[in-house]
Amino acid sequence: MKAQFWGVRGYVPTPGAAFLRYGGNTCCVSLHGAGGELVVLDSGTGFCELGATLMAGDFRDGRGELTMLITHTYWDHFLGLPFPGIVHVPGNHLRIYGPDSARGSLEMIYDNMLAPVYSPVFGLAHIAATHSFHPVPTEPFQVGQLTVRGMPLSRRAHSPIWAYRVEEAGRALVYITDARYTDDAIWREAVRFARDAEVLIHSAPYLRGEAVRDDGHSRVEDAIELALEAKVRRLYLYHHAPTRTDDDLDALVARCRGELAAGGQRLDLDAAREGEAVKV
Amino acid sequence: MFARIWGTRGSYPVARADVLRYGGNTTCVEVRAENRCIILDAGTGMRMLGEALMREPGAPRQLDLLITHTHWDHIIGFPFFAPIYAAGWRLNIYGLSRTQASLRATIASALGDPLFPVGLEDLRAEVHVHEIHVGSAFELGPVRVRTAQANHPYRALAYRLESDAETLVFVPDTGPFHTLLFGDERIEWTGAPGAGNGAETRALAEMRARVIELAQGADWLLYDAQFTDEEYARFPHWGHGTASQAREIAEAAGARELLLFHHDPRRSDAELDAIVAAQRAAARPGLAVSAAAEGRLLSKGGPQ
């Protein structure tokens, strides 16, 4: 399985020279299985860049298929979905898994996002590619040879958040974003969910000491502690704050690696970088 | 009056290396006159404007936001605009009145769960929402504001901002005046422009005339030029225009400078350079042509 980052930024895209190395697009990661499976984690603006590259193959000819795993429907994870040309080619098929909200099903949320007042598309009915929407199954399910598990991270009725674990031949990638470990139970569940993963991608926009107006995200230290406790091999800090320049992220990585080394920990840590491909 | 461009991109923000000069943020323009700060659209460029205002000693604490329409690329900067979370700021939001939903409800549903975690009631700034109409005219301090209708799906406004010495006209989203796009029903893209019945033809001619009138003698005309002529013939245009159509409007209005605006997200700086060169070569004498670039100051050289 090959993972590739298409958008690593949280909250809002950050165009500009200071953000080019790590990238300014919002959340999106692709997973390519050995059997040709294509799974996409979240559809922030990174999905627009992924979509542009996919326009060269089957998706250009209306024979493309992908499975999308949506963690939640906030803009930085979902708003890129209607833009790439591939969703406007008849014949392409997007199988979209994600949480329903008390305000409506995932399909209704998307249809509302495309309502005339917000989008010239005028509603989901006018998107040419076939979209099927599915609540995340509580049991593991297959996408070709890939096994996918979902875990509810937050059950807030209006905006639930899920995490995903994708395995191929016993090697797992775990994707956790916008987590907030408010109690021991959710922490223990997350540790179990991430157990022995080759790769953990975890939102980590801020450090504990930083004074920011954000109570929706766990901190960098939480991501590291989770990775250590779950015995993850490699951790990617993800969902970078829009204020973090490339130099800031270099410094953050150096600091985290320094602390891990000083503590005698063997965790491989990096900051997710747009365009980087990772063999899982 | 002077202006600064904070976002030029259409559809969605882009963060690539090949868009650094013209910029990747979506539409936002700041206009200053005396102690007024008027903001045109709330695309992602608004975030940088907010940071600049928070840093500026003595920045105006009363802001006016004029929204052309509420498509995503024109509103997604709003929750990242720092002054709305600070006490002591007052923001008046102006936008098109619709029968289907209030402007306040439209903004609130975009910002709230399950799409985003911001409630208008959580903001610390004082926020007032004002619904206006096609043809509305009002004054914001020394700036006279007028609106006209652009040819964009589900209707959008175009704005003229005029002080005693300068005029800026903002038409970020409009298709050409070939096919009506402003209805409540979606109009299918037919592959080639063509007017429908006589009433539609007259309505289009009227809309075009009003836009030209709005842009009359503008010092700066910021105008939708998302597509090339060749792309326009091949793809659904979603209610956007081309650089040559923008130039024709600028020429008809006698504008001083045309700034091509609402750049396609896939368009590189080098491609925009070529588009500008072609339009400059075609432009009538006296019309300057450029592509709107993030960070550019529009000023006739007065005190700032």
pLDDT in tens, A4-62: 999 999 999 999 999 999 999 999 999 999 999 999 999 999 999 999 999 988 999 99
From A99, A71, A98, A76, select the one nearest A158 (Cα to Cα). A99
Residue for token digits 């910002």? B111
pLDDT at B303 over 70: no
pLDDT tens, position by position, B200-249 = 788 889 999 999 999 999 999 999 999 998 888 777 778 899 999 999 99
Q: Which residues of B touch A (CB under 8 A)?
A: 9, 11-17, 19-20, 23-25, 44, 47, 70-72, 76-77, 80, 85, 98, 100-101, 106, 109-110, 113-117, 152-154, 184, 186, 236, 238-239, 265-266, 294
The shares of helix, strand and coil residues in chain A, as percent rounded to the nearest 5, are 25, 30, 50
* Under 8 Å between Cβ of B149 and B136: no
C-alpha span between A248 and A201 (Å, rounded): 19
Chain B residues touching residue A72 (CB < 8 angstroms)? 114
- Predicted confidence (pLDDT) per residue in B8-43, tens digit: 999 999 999 999 999 999 999 999 999 999 999 999
Distance from CA of B286 to the nearest CA of A (A): 33
- Largest Cα–Cα separation, chain B: 56
Which one, of A149, A135, A139, lies nearest residue A101 by Cα?
Answer: A135
Top-confidence residue, B196 or A214: A214
What is the pLDDT, as a whole number, of residue B232?
Answer: 84
- Report how far apart, in Å, the C-alpha atoms of A79 and of each of A113, A177, A195, B110 are: 8, 16, 31, 11
- Cross-chain residue pair A15–B12, CB shorter than 8 Å: no
CB atoms within 10 A of CB A23: 25
Distance CA B45, CA B27 (A): 6
DSSP helix/strand/coil, A146: strand
pLDDT in tens, B245-299: 999 999 999 999 999 999 999 999 999 999 999 999 999 999 999 999 999 999 9
CA–CA separation, B223 vs B249, rounded Å?
A: 9
- Does B194 have pLDDT greater than 60? no
How many helices and strands (H and E) does chain B possess?
A: 6, 14
Cβ <8 Å between B236 and A24: no
Least CA distance to A52: which residue of chain B? B266
Predicted model pTM = 0.96
For helices A220-229 and A184-194, give the axis angle rounded to 10 degrees. 60
Q: What residue type is assigned to position B172 of the chain?
A: P
What average pLDDT does this structure show over B191-202? 65
Contact flag A16-B110 (C-beta cutoff 8 Å): no
Shortest Cα–Cα distance, B113 to chain A (Å): 6
B208: three-class secondary structure by DSSP:
helix
What would the pLDDT profile of A154-197 be if each residue is shown by its tens digit?
878 888 999 999 999 999 999 999 998 989 999 999 999 999 99
pLDDT one-digit tens code per residue, A8-20: 999 999 999 999 9
Q: Cα(B218)–Cα(B198) distance, rounded to whole angstroms?
A: 31
Residues 169-208 of A with CB under 8 A from B: none
User: Would you state the pLDDT for residue B183?
Assistant: 61
pLDDT of residue A239: 98
Helix (H, G, I), strand (E, B) or coil at B126: strand
CA atoms within 13 A on the CB side of A258: 6
- Residues from chain A contacting residue B24 (CB–CB below 8 Å): 13, 15-16, 24
Which residues partner with B96 through β-bridges?
B132
| Per-residue pLDDT tens over the stretch B88-145 | 999 999 999 998 899 999 999 999 999 999 999 989 999 999 999 999 999 999 999 9
